[in-house]
Amino acid sequence: MPIGVSVDYYVRLEQGRIGAVSEEVLDAVAGALRLTETERAHLLRLAARRRSTPGREHRALIDPGLQRLLDSWPTTPAHILDHRMNVVAANELCIGLFAGAGWDLTGESNGARLVFLDPAAREFYLEWAEKAESIVTYLRLAAGRHPGDTELSALVGELAVASPEFATLWAAHRVAEKGSGTMRVRHPVVGVIALLFHGFPVPGDTDLTLVTFTPATAADEEAIRLLGSWTAPEPSPDKRESTVAEADPAVPRDIG
């Protein structure tokens, strides 16, 4: 490897087993390992942190307006993840979409656990390997940002023990932000759907990521609309009676 920099050096730096390192050396390491800008920023954070100072664990609090925003999108499934990939908010379309894998996003759901530990994920995601890699690169980035997060460390340890695929990907030391791309899923109600996904940091809380899933084609949009009609909640009896009264001129109305 160029300038004598090895992957082992990077690993020891990541684990805090190397003393103070100048920014010039870090730049050389980043260049030798051909790191991306995101990976370079991760490397700088690792070198700067003090292992004796634990980080404060972050608990997500969702602005109710964010949930209203998600619910206002008629053909766009969307959810919000924290840095541990816990689902902290989702709209009805997203809940219905992932129900196709047998998952309930209204409870305490963790995207990494579902993808690596539930066999249904390999049937649901047509490109499961790509999805799995993107999750690991994001979690490793989060681990660098939150070195004292015991909940995140426990999650990584659990997945590394339970999933050989996770352990292998984690050992590659790759990091990446939640970006964009295309994913295809197989839903038992509407069939295969192609979706364009985009990850956006939530204003005011960079540890939260809004992920949207936009239908890739007109046919995919029609499938999402069908899914929406299938998952739409039944109106309450009072709501149904009100609708009938408005539609039937023979029903007396109070016009005050």
**For residue 10, is pLDDT > 50?**
yes
**pLDDT of res. 33:** 58
**Coil, strand or helix at 109:** coil
Average pLDDT rounded to a whole number, residues 104-126: 95
CB atoms within 10 A of CB 3: 9
Question: Where, residue-wise, is CATH 3.30.450.180 in the chain?
Answer: 64-231
CA-to-CA distance for 210 and 78, rounded, in angstroms?
Answer: 7
Average pLDDT rounded to a whole number, residues 181-204: 94
* Residues of the chain by 3-state class (helix, strand, coil), percent to 5: 50, 15, 35
**pLDDT of res. 30:** 62
Mean pLDDT is lowest, of 20-34, 99-113, 185-199, for 20-34
**pLDDT of res. 24:** 61
**For residue 201, is pLDDT > 80?**
yes
pTM, whole model, 2 decimals?
Answer: 0.71
**For residue 4, is pLDDT > 50?**
no
CA dihedral sign, ordered 220, 222, 225, 229: negative
Architecture of domain 64-231: 2-Layer Sandwich (3.30)
Contact present, 141 and 42 (Cβ < 8 Å): yes
**For residue 8, is pLDDT > 60?**
no
Average pLDDT rounded to a whole number, residues 200-209: 89
